[in-house]
Amino acid sequence: VVTYRVQAETASIDARARAIANEQSVELPTSAIDDPYVLNEIVGSVVGISDAGRNVFDVEIALASATMPPEPGQLCNMLFGNTSLLDDVTLHDVAFPNAYLTAFGGPTIGLTGLRRWLKAPERGLTATALKPQGLRSSALASIAHAAAAGGIDIIKDDHGLADQAYSPYEERVAACLSAVAKANAASGGTSIYAPSLSGSLDQLRQQVDVLRCHGGRMALIAPMVVGLPAFHTIAREASDIAFLAHPSLAGAQRIAAPLLLGRMFRMLGADATIFPNYGGRFSYSQDVCQAIARHARMSFGGLAATLPAPAGGMSLDRVDEILNAYGRDCLLLIGGSLLADRAHITKTARAFTDRVAAHGR
């Protein structure tokens, strides 16, 4: 059962709902179908319409899972393919049958595995991003070292880093992994560096090989940038690597964020999921953000939980507020405000990690 949120007049909502049910199944008027199997088993059916007020309706449609083999692209194609072209409909929710969860498999490391890697069974977790784009690998590695020395758990590439001339992928991975390893050796810490992956499935595989070769075990990946089929394939194949999903290109409106960034990225293998925190520079509300975190962690057909990672325009003085909002099972990602004072990154990072560790004690 799939829920679409439709803007429509009350008088037309029944017809709109039937049209969507048809569009996402057979794409043909039922009057033009004579095959009984198709009529009985394949045509989508409207199972509920509820009025959400202000000419907005939640339309529940039952679609046949026979049309959607458990392949990420085809799943989205049948859930929202042509309907994404209607500017007054969003994909709001999906009740996935358990068979999909089993087939897709979900996170292989997940929230629990990451806590184990980081030797942090209870406290909130911390992350930062290596920026700005344009710095050489050695400069990025210095920032990574400083952040790790300040006890940041996960140090990820800015999602805009790929294989640019000024900091090529392999050179950057080698430099940053080595810098973080040195900081860990000096402090007894467990910081992890996560480089940004990009490109086709072939390129993702090469990049994962390079990462493993240099001793890495976590990567940043934007599922909507590489494509959901490629994301799922690499996440399943590289089950020893933790994948931190980034919301780049995930859009604001067309697929509900708790569904896409929470449940769908989780189902396809995200071990952690980054999303724009409320009150920052993006447009998600606190309700939406808390729903994303809930969908990432809630009971979901036996799948491992995904670590929710609120990010974007956050500062140190919001640490307690954010941990109160999400609980401690989350990864606080603070990028810009940690890097602003370039000479004192370790000190600022330490203030951040101390504050997170102190929360709730």
Contacts to a second copy from residues 86-125, by CB under 8 A? 86-88
Token readout for 341 is 């004072």
- Listed ranges 1-9, 114-122, 176-184, 201-209: which one lies at the site for a second copy (CB under 8 A): 201-209
Nearer to a second copy, 136 or 328 (CB): 136
45 Cβ partners below 8 Å, 6+ apart? 21, 61, 62
Cα 114-118-123 angle, rounded to 5 deg: 90
**Cβ pair 331, 312 in contact under 8 A:** no
What mask of x and - would describe binding to a second copy in positions 50 to 69, judged by CB under 8 A? --------------x-xx-x
At 253, the amino acid letter reads: Q
Query: Is the bond leading into 132 cis (omega within 30 degrees of zero)?
Result: yes
Burial call 322-335: b when 16+ CB within 10 Å, e when fewer: bbebbeebbbbbbb
The verdict on 273 binding a second copy (CB under 8 A) reads no
Contacting residue, 17, 228, 272, 332, with a second copy by CB under 8 A? 228
Contacting residue, 21, 46, 118, 135, with a second copy by CB under 8 A? 135
Nearer to a second copy, 140 or 272 (CB): 140
Contacting residue, 114, 127, 129, 241, with a second copy by CB under 8 A? 129
Nearer to a second copy, 213 or 340 (CB): 340
Q: How far is CA 226 from the centre of its chain?
A: 13
**Cβ pair 255, 80 in contact under 8 A:** yes
Interface positions, 291-320, toward a second copy (CB under 8 A):
none
Q: How far is the CB of 104 from a second copy (least distance, A)?
A: 13
Contacting residue, 103, 298, 340, 358, with a second copy by CB under 8 A? 340
The torsion angles phi and psi of 300, rounded to 5 degrees, stand at -150, 80
Residues touching a second copy, count (CB under 8 A): 84
Diameter of the chain by CA atoms? Answer: 73
The verdict on 81 binding a second copy (CB under 8 A) reads yes
Token readout for 149 is 């020395």
190 Cβ partners below 8 Å, 6+ apart? 117, 118, 119, 120, 153, 184
Contacting residue, 5, 254, 355, 359, with a second copy by CB under 8 A? 254
Q: How far is the CB of 12 from a second copy (least distance, A)?
A: 13
Q: How far is the CB of 236 from a second copy (least distance, A)?
A: 10
Q: How far is the CB of 185 from a second copy (least distance, A)?
A: 28
Other CB atoms within a 10 A radius of the CB of residue 191 amount to: 27
- Listed ranges 7-15, 158-166, 294-302, 320-328: which one lies at the site for a second copy (CB under 8 A): 158-166
Q: What is the torsional sign of CA 291, 294, 295, 299?
A: negative
Token readout for 217 is 């075990």
Interface positions, 3-42, toward a second copy (CB under 8 A):
19, 23, 25-29, 31-35, 37-38, 41-42
Contacting residue, 59, 192, 219, 230, with a second copy by CB under 8 A? 230
Contacting residue, 12, 283, 315, 324, with a second copy by CB under 8 A? 283
- Listed ranges 6-14, 46-54, 78-86, 113-121: which one lies at the site for a second copy (CB under 8 A): 78-86
Token readout for 153 is 């758990």
- Listed ranges 51-59, 74-82, 184-192, 353-361: which one lies at the site for a second copy (CB under 8 A): 74-82
**Cβ pair 288, 257 in contact under 8 A:** yes
**Cβ pair 68, 96 in contact under 8 A:** no
Nearer to a second copy, 202 or 361 (CB): 202
